[in-house]
Structure 1
Amino acid sequence: MWFSKPQEDVLKELKVNPRTGLSSQEVQARLEQYGANKLKGKPKKSLISLFFAQMKDMLIYVLLGAAIITLFIGEYVDAIIILLVVLLNAAIGVFQEFKAEKAIEALQQLTTPKTLVRRDEEVKEINSVDLVPGDIVILDAGRFIPADLRLIESANLQIEESALTGESVPTEKEAQRILDEPKTPLGDQANMAFMSTLVTYGRGEGVVVGTAMETEIGKIAKILDEEIDEMTPLQKRMEELGKILGYLAIGICLLIFVIAFFQKRDLFEMFLTAISLAVAAIPEGLPAIVAIVLALGVTRMSKINAIVKKLPAVETLGSVNIICSDKTGTLTQNQMTVVKYYTLDNMKELPREGSSLDAASQEKELMKTFVLCSDATYEHGQGTGDPTEIALIVLGDRFNLTKKSLNANHKRVGENPFDSDRKLMSTLNEEDGSYRVHTKGAIDNILNIATSALVNNQVVPLTEAMKNEYLKIAEEMSDDALRVLGAAYKDVDHLITSEEMEHNLTVLGMVGMIDPPRLEVKDSIRDAKLAGITPVMITGDHKNTAVAIAKELGIADSLAQSMTGAEIDEISDEQFAQRVGELRVFARVSPEHKVKIVKAYKSQGNIVSMTGDGVNDAPSLKNADIGVAMGITGTDVSKGAADMILTDDNFTTIVHAIEEGRNIYNNIKKSVIFLLSCNLGEIVAIFFSVLFFWPIPLMPTQLLWINLITDTLPAIALGVDPGDKDVMKQKPRDPRESFFAHGAALRAVIGGVLIGTLTLVAFYVGLREYGYTLGSATIPDDVLTYSRTMAFVVLAASQLFYSLSMRSATKSIFTVGFFSNKYLILAIIVGLLLQLMVISVPFLSSAFKLQMLSLRDWGIVLSLAIIPLIVRELFKIFQRKSS
């Protein structure tokens, strides 16, 4: 490991002289050996291969079989509709997959176009893709790191690594350090610089030790490149349902045909009936309905600032019971903010919001020193430079001490730049003909070089008691995970050197700053917990800081609920998986740790959501059941790897999206159970008429017509049913539970048996009106036509009415609101009008062998049709009273 080797050994191993750099010939040779410094992605799949991949599904096979059968029996319109459903389903899948895999391309765009290197004894600017191991790279503020480097020189060098490590504060780099610990986290590798991080301060030089896929970013790219073909719970349910329906359809065909053979019926007529019933038994609109419901859900979610890239992710959200969230920029604001300031015996907390605050003159002197002793800028809500210094300038702005006005009135005439050994920075500013030194830095270092303190606007000697008090307050701030900075000054009457600045200072006080939590996140976390969802923080930041934020947000209660990346490495995967349920905070973790954490939760049967915005989050976003990227602060890499993007970077939106996901799954379930009830009703009516050697109550064309009416509009209307307000008071759905759990199968069976039985009753009533019974030997065609018309109306109308009771498994239609789903009411009205049209329009009634009913019989059939709805509503009342 490069960070554990001395510079001399690294340079010797890479065969390079840092003063001259590599020669052009050596560069060319190494370029051929190692390749271009460019991240690689897996070969793209063609649209044709993506299309055929979508066709590998049991339900699709059954639908294609149904299309062939309907073509064979001459139902060309129905065959076309089935084929269109199959093609639509495949096209949606192709589109989603084609758009989804953009993470590697985004990673490639992160590489820096140009970089400064020393080659052939001179410094030159080259394309970063031409870098090779052994190249000497020159670094200065504002430059991105073009490859992984072992630093060989550093002067006040600070590198912002939040996209890779998750730390919000730039890391101080020291080229001379040698780290012996073999498992040192990325954030602690002070002698290394990593590809795609940013130099924010100082300068340095480094030798390239890794390019392209051998960099830390490259390791992330490899993880993203892995195929993860795990199906979502909905896809598993649909595959399971498809197999059941496929086998059921084949079984029905064979059974009815065998029974008819032994009954010596007209085999061709029974063959057509069996085939029609098998087609009716399969809700061929199911894939399209699921896709439509999901697509409409995606549209609704976009209105609440959640952009879903993959349709199944909508449903997966409803199953989520673990939300793993990155800290920096997701739970926090990703900007250092001063929250407390202290002058001797006077601690004050800053309000989160507000400007033009008042302060005592001594406090203003404290802030004035912090603003003047900084190199950052902040204007119009945008800052440049070190985030800590930006926070100090923002502090000054809030007290009307702007950087611009102070610099204009107190010109800087000298400075002693920040140094990681001194941990201090000082500036010399001209003030009304005299000069003042402004110093900021570590409070203990300031106390070592100070001789006095400003107390109540009076300069007094600095005593040991005062020093202890300053240090005590600083320790208390640190315990609260605040970063502490002290300030001091001294007045001089002439220009002095930088070495003379930091002596005999007067202590002003100190400030405590933190990357604060987002204001709305605490409420969202509480809502998530009430919904049975466990929030977990995963960050590259230090343990104490992470736990302090987690406590404030309500994620964790104590330090015992946290674990560092180094501690994860010390235990086996099995031990970690057993312990992971007790933990709420993971600190100082690498990208590999994040993936390990997500996998550990998944191994315990959890459905895991991972949120994040940095490059370091991308592998875990991809491995999670649903990855959620931040749209504003998120990198292209994280967006490419995620299933969902939050356009407002608001953690609260995740909770709203989960609520939407739960309702969408419930709506899909309503549609499926409704379709199965309807189709079971058709099976019951036909199967029992064949079994008991009765006349067939419905002809093949009539079955297919009813199937088309009930499998489309009412099922889609149920799929867009308004959400249940109480859905977030329930626990997340167990991902292993059956699609027919909680009495869904029983509801489907009861509904189907009722619908089928009442269809036979209507058929029987029609025969009795003409003096015939179900057992009559010969029945005239006109009597059969009239009786079948009655059965035809009851079968369709009962299904349409029954859809109203499917809106809730426990609440009555009046509780949920009879007219709250206007689409369903419209679907029922349209369905009834279509039934009336096919009966009353001569050429349609002739084609379908139907005839107009008398007013009395319309009353009978509609009365019979409403019975399943009434029975279901009465059953709900019984359920509520018994629970």
Structure 2
Amino acid sequence: MAEEYPSQFGISLFELRELMEVRGQEGLEKVQENGGIQEICRKLNSSPITGLGGSKSELDVRRQVFGANVIPPKPPKTFLMLMWEAIQDVTLIILQVAALVSLILWLVTKYSSSDDHGSEEEDEEHGWIDSVAILVSVVVVVLVTAFNDYTKERQFRGLQSRIEGEHNFSVIRGGEVLQIPVSEIVVGDICQIKYGDLLPADGILIQSNDLKIDESSLTGESDHVKKSEVSDPMVLSGTHVMEGSGKMVVTAVGINSQSGIIFALLGAAAEEEAKPKEKKKDKEARIAMKKADEERGMGGGRQVISNSHAAVRDGRPPPIPEEPEPVREKVDKNQDKSVLQAKLTKLAIQIGYAGTAIAVLTVVVMFVRFSITTYGIKKEVFHVKHARSFVNFIITGITVLVVAVPEGLPLAVTLSLAYSVKKMMKDNNLVRHLDACETMGNATAICSDKTGTLTTNRMTVVQSHICGVQYKYSPKHTELPPQVAELICHSISVNSAYTSRTLPPENPGELPKQVGNKTECALLGFIQNIGKDYMEIRERITEESFTRVYTFNSERKSMSTVIPRPGGGFRLFTKGASEMIMKKCGYMFGKDGKLERFTKEMQDRLVSEVIEPMACDGLRTISVAYRDFVPHKTEENEVQVDGEPNWDDENNIVKELTCLCVVGIEDPVRPEVPDAIKKCQRAGITVRMVTGDNINTARSIAYKCGIVKPGDEFLILEGKEFNQRIRDANGVVQQYLIDKVWPRLRVLARSSPQDKYTLVKGIIDSKVSENREVVAVTGDGTNDGPALKKADVGFAMGIAGTDVAKEASDIILTDDNFSSIVKAVLWGRNVYDSIAKFLQFQLTVNVVAVIVAFTGACVVSMSPLKAVQMLWVNLIMDTLASLALATELPTPDLLLRKPYGRTKPLISRTMMKNILGQAIYQLTVIFCLLFIGAGIMDIDEGTMMVEPSAHMTMIFNTFVMMTLFNEINARKIHGQRNVFKGIFTNPIFYVIWVLTAGSQVVIVQYGGLAFSTAPLSVEQWMWCLVFGVGALIWGQVVTTVPTRKLPKLLSWGRGHPEQFTEGVTIGEDYDPDADKRRSAGQILWIRGLTRLQTQLRVIRAFKSTLEDMEEKRSVHSLHSLHSLRSSRSHPGLRPMSDISYIDEDPTKTPSPAEGQKSGGNQFRGTMGREDHRNVRWTNSEIRPATQSSLSPHRHISRTLIQELPKLVHETSI
């Protein structure tokens, strides 16, 4: 298609892809060969100023010719594929084989013997029914399992689509700046790029300001690469903007971009490895493609890429990746485990061992009894019908195992998490990692930003200090000296991101709409209130005319812009944190606009009389200043220069400024935040504020929020003092010193990202409390990445957060609101409770069913519960009970108790009391019915009858009724007496309960031979219901038993999570073959005889889906390639002293010197979450030695060729 491009484009897809293969000087030369950036835009029918027209037909043509900005995801599994997976369960296979053998033996017996009479004749007549019923039951189990998996996969695909739709990017179309989904970006679009962006496509820079890009995801190089239209204009998808801003024209999207090509290569390699039978055919195709490429003169070093080109040129897209599993860094897997899942897996395995032992014992006892009775006492010889009996014993044993092993546990976890994730989206929590939902239930500390999280992020200038006069309102420009008013308006209008603007209110009576950085919007609103139009100034002074921009970063804490002066020379505008700007000022305007020397005494007076009072009122103070560089000095504050100053010498440029004004910006506390913080404190969660703002501002907001109260003996520190307290004489952070600070610390002001990271790490690593602290952290800036990754749960801001912060997070707050974090805590605790409810219910059924089956086999040579009946019970307690109990809504009571803690028992003493109490009641009833029930009820003894009897049917029906009513008991796990409270808030529960009860009636009355049931009379039904309701009454009796007097041995799962993760593989690093290496018997009888493996694979797939959502959406991520390099990097941390942090100042960017100071080590934020507590860093030693001699694309290709076999091998394992 690329060579058949329509005539309206002057450049082909192939030419664009070749253009993007090079960088640096080579890339600049390539651009010049094509006539320069303006000519490339012209060939793409795009304007660098107004962008594309944006009509639907034009965009459709561009997608047809150059491709769409998506990488098609792997097609979802069909329902038949999911059925095939479900039927692979070894348990079901054994049941089917046993049922078929039994059916064949029945046929052999029926047609080889005609001597049998009486009951045996009837037995042979209906002997096929049991076998067919088991086969039908297996089909039902497979259908239900497949349906559950199908539904869950569709649900998570929908969640993925939601996340894809949430990610927008700024483009210029029709002269207007629009925010569009990244999937709608096309070749020729003019994109505005800024600090924190994850680039969605390949492009060439048109204009840039102090732009630095992190390309480690492509090259492995940790140093930030300086980009500009005059030195290195090539920017690639999947890379991060670490500093500055600019504009680019999009030249490649989707599978044609550099990251798209790599995805295609990885996918093709994985597919080739997975399908060895097709290797020969693929090899022949590659040889043919190679010959074709050689004929076109494209052999050699670009061969791998050429294949992709050839595919496109022939009208066929290159191979779509099969979502290859990234090569994980080999870290301590115990650190990666979800606490709940680790405990559940160990519990399932232990129950599996016990269930296996009982099942084998049941089969052995039935074999021995039958053999003694038949061959010892009756002296019979072996007959084919005896083989049928042996097969039926095996069926009974396998069925006991099916009931005993809780394969519904992983399903319950998945359902509970999936349900919670779906509901949390409505509560403005977009969950990216499933286990984050669970972890929030254990949170004991929250380190929160201030602006936008605790406050409204609706900023307004409410005070100002201009020319020595303090204003409590916005003065009109006529009240100010004309020269000063003009300078203030120009400084704020020009020295702000042009993407920041205020729009008229959408409806009458509403406030103006703020777009972009909220601090800058407040300043622009101040200009409007003065009576000036900032847009008029911006139209006269365009971004293209800027001489130099010193973008905001956490080290500068200011932003500066240099523009040419109309009369010659240059003018520097600066704004930033008042304390920083004041130190750089040498002049200021006094009363009536008179220029004065700004002495140290005047500075101290301004701080004490103006800045500090504003801060104590909770206002953020921003100072605005300027400096003139002129050919001929006429004013005292001007600097005479010959020619152009050295703009790289920032320290000498940004000094001796003239202060224009100081403004106080109000950002009110969100009205719902004080109540949310009270809930956290009542729930045993400590809230700390970590902000970059002035300590007085932070203290004021902390009091208003309720984080601290008057009289509290808590610490409120600045970052500088915090570091002094936690470092020894050599400047090294010491844990014992941190332990003296963090328990009382409530506010950390003027903090840097390093301070934030150090605090989070210190709290997590502390051994001060018995249970390790579980820390949640909020962040919105690129430099917040380390803290977000180190935290147990990282929250990124959905509105104010950068793409880098979002990628490093576990949950995205779509409304940037602290109260949404409280809702996440609520749902996290609800997950624990939902699983506990299901455990309490299922273990009761397990204990009763297994003991009844085993006792019946030992005493009466048969199980009172037939195989089909136990399969029905298994369906009730696994799938249906999972749906019913795992979807309970959270209640406010969840926030009235302390966090569970990581060492809390999985099964508490209260739960064990309920399990054992109900088991005793149910076993007593069933054994009474089994041994003396026939006499009491005046019905025939059913143990000796072949045909279904009312006696055995009553036992089965009573067991199911007690199970159903105990399901209501199981809704409460903390000893509450009112088990019906809130039952109608969960329609799923009562609908499933009613349907199950109705199905039981149908099975009993009309199941007949298929379910081995006989219709019961009304009186018999009443007895069954009485015994069932008795479970509710008995539950009240059990509740009266004081839990505290029970021995702690009755609880299970107490202790540190590491005790449960040893030898248990779960989550993303789950390896099904690990069990085979340990023990073939274990995998056969534990993993094989349950659907645990299948369900865990489902959990892993869904976790992977959530983690890879942003990877698959457009072309932004290179997890696979990045992981190849991460697997060789060291987890050690570099010194972070060069990184600072401010909570929410205009445009956050790292220091320009950051790369040099770090010694070549930079945090790489592109990777998805690998470990809750291990931050990934790139070590300089992995830098390829031959990079200088390779073009970037060739280097990437060579790296891929070297690493692909390893990746494919790891993936296949």
Aligned to 1:340: 463
Identity %: 25
Give the length in aligned residue pairs. Answer: 739
**Cα contact 2:527–2:534 (8 A) shared by 1:** no
**Cα contact 2:348–2:409 (8 A) shared by 1:** no
Aligned to 2:1038: 875
**Cα contact 1:794–1:862 (8 A) shared by 2:** yes
Secondary structure at the counterpart of residue 689 of structure 1: helix
Residue 521 of structure 1: how far off its partner (Å): 3.9
Aligned to 1:322: 445
Residues 542/65 of structure 1: CA separation in 2 closer, same or farther (3 Å cut): farther
Aligned to 2:237: none
1:824 to 965, 989, 997: 989
Residues 236/152 of structure 1: CA separation in 2 closer, same or farther (3 Å cut): closer
> Is it true that 1:794 corresponds to 2:958 in the alignment?
yes
Residues 334/61 of structure 1: CA separation in 2 closer, same or farther (3 Å cut): farther
Residue 860 of structure 1: how far off its partner (Å): 1.4
Residue 849 of structure 1: how far off its partner (Å): 2.0
**Cα contact 1:439–1:502 (8 A) shared by 2:** no
> Is it true that 1:763 corresponds to 2:893 in the alignment?
no
Aligned to 1:197: 243
> Is it true that 1:68 corresponds to 2:94 in the alignment?
yes
Residues 26/712 of structure 1: CA separation in 2 closer, same or farther (3 Å cut): closer
What letter matches 1:845 in structure 2? G
Aligned to 1:650: 817
Whole-angstrom CA distance in 2 between matches of 1:25 and 1:440:
34
Range with bigger deviation, 141-150 or 707-716: 141-150
Deviations 1:570-597 (A, max 9, x none): 3356547745743453864447973883
Whole-angstrom CA distance in 2 between matches of 1:152 and 1:274:
70
**Cα contact 2:524–2:534 (8 A) shared by 1:** no
Whole-angstrom CA distance in 2 between matches of 1:70 and 1:22:
65
**Cα contact 2:396–2:867 (8 A) shared by 1:** yes
The 5 A counterparts of 1:340-739 are 340-342=463-465, 370-371=488-489, 373-376=491-494, 378-380=501-503, 390-397=521-528, 399=529, 401-403=531-533, 449=587, 453=591, 469-474=605-610, 476-477=612-613, 480=616, 482-485=620-623, 499-500=634-635, 502=637, 510-513=662-665, 520-538=672-690, 553-555=705-707, 557-560=714-717, 570-572=731-733, 574-575=735-736, 578=739, 581-582=742-743, 583-584=745-746, 585=748, 588-590=751-753, 594=757, 597-598=760-761, 601=764, 604=767, 605-693=772-860, 696-739=863-906
Residue 869 of structure 1: how far off its partner (Å): 1.3
What letter matches 1:824 in structure 2? F
Residues 85/575 of structure 1: CA separation in 2 closer, same or farther (3 Å cut): farther
What letter matches 2:1008 in structure 1? S
Aligned to 1:234: 340
**Cα contact 1:521–1:651 (8 A) shared by 2:** yes
Residue 808 of structure 1: how far off its partner (Å): 1.5
Deviations 1:748-768 (A, max 9, x none): 222223223222223345421
Residues 795/372 of structure 1: CA separation in 2 closer, same or farther (3 Å cut): same
Residue 390 of structure 1: how far off its partner (Å): 4.7
Whole-angstrom CA distance in 1 between matches of 2:755 and 2:596:
54
Task: State the TM-score, normalizing by the size of structure 1.
Answer: 0.67
Whole-angstrom CA distance in 2 between matches of 1:663 and 1:64:
33
> Is it true that 1:803 corresponds to 2:967 in the alignment?
yes
Whole-angstrom CA distance in 1 between matches of 2:27 and 2:892:
71
Aligned to 1:38: none
Whole-angstrom CA distance in 2 between matches of 1:251 and 1:550:
60
Residues 501/858 of structure 1: CA separation in 2 closer, same or farther (3 Å cut): same
What letter matches 1:198 in structure 2? G
Residue 282 of structure 1: how far off its partner (Å): 2.0
**Cα contact 1:762–1:864 (8 A) shared by 2:** no
The 5 A counterparts of 1:169-208 are 196-198=242-244
Deviations 1:350-395 (A, max 9, x none): 7xxxxxx788985899978743553347431677999766533322
Residues 840/540 of structure 1: CA separation in 2 closer, same or farther (3 Å cut): same
Aligned to 2:977: 812
Residue 275 of structure 1: how far off its partner (Å): 2.2
What letter matches 2:621 in structure 1? R
Aligned to 1:833: 998
Whole-angstrom CA distance in 2 between matches of 1:670 and 1:515:
44
What letter matches 1:256 in structure 2? T
**Cα contact 1:538–1:594 (8 A) shared by 2:** no
Residues 253/339 of structure 1: CA separation in 2 closer, same or farther (3 Å cut): same
Residues 478/262 of structure 1: CA separation in 2 closer, same or farther (3 Å cut): same
What letter matches 2:531 in structure 1? L
Higher RCO, Cα 8 Å, sep 6+:
2
Whole-angstrom CA distance in 2 between matches of 1:712 and 1:386:
49
**Cα contact 2:586–2:599 (8 A) shared by 1:** no
Deviations 1:128-173 (A, max 9, x none): 9999xxxxx99964856688679999xxxxxxxxxxxxxxxxxxxx
Whole-angstrom CA distance in 2 between matches of 1:756 and 1:850:
20
Whole-angstrom CA distance in 2 between matches of 1:293 and 1:22:
51
**Cα contact 1:89–1:291 (8 A) shared by 2:** no
Whole-angstrom CA distance in 2 between matches of 1:846 and 1:61:
25
Residues 98/331 of structure 1: CA separation in 2 closer, same or farther (3 Å cut): same
Aligned to 1:354: none
Secondary structure at the counterpart of residue 290 of structure 1: helix
Secondary structure at the counterpart of residue 816 of structure 1: coil
Residue 465 of structure 1: how far off its partner (Å): 10
What letter matches 2:244 in structure 1? L
Residue 246 of structure 1: how far off its partner (Å): 1.0
Task: State the TM-score, normalizing by the size of structure 2.
Answer: 0.50
Which 5+ residue runs of structure 2 have no aligned equivalent? 1-22, 31-71, 100-130, 170-181, 189-199, 216-222, 229-239, 247-257, 260-325, 375-388, 504-511, 551-555, 639-656, 709-713, 1047-1213
**Cα contact 1:530–1:729 (8 A) shared by 2:** yes
Aligned to 1:853: 1016
**Cα contact 1:323–1:609 (8 A) shared by 2:** yes
Residue 247 of structure 1: how far off its partner (Å): 0.5
Aligned to 1:307: 430
**Cα contact 1:372–1:427 (8 A) shared by 2:** no
Aligned to 1:34: none
Whole-angstrom CA distance in 2 between matches of 1:401 and 1:467:
29
Deviations 1:218-262 (A, max 9, x none): xxxxx9985676121221122122212210211111232344455
Whole-angstrom CA distance in 1 between matches of 2:885 and 2:478:
67
Aligned to 2:1029: 866
What letter matches 1:500 in structure 2? E
For the aligned residues, what is the CA RMSD? 6.1
What letter matches 1:483 in structure 2? T
Whole-angstrom CA distance in 2 between matches of 1:840 and 1:795:
16
Residues 595/87 of structure 1: CA separation in 2 closer, same or farther (3 Å cut): farther
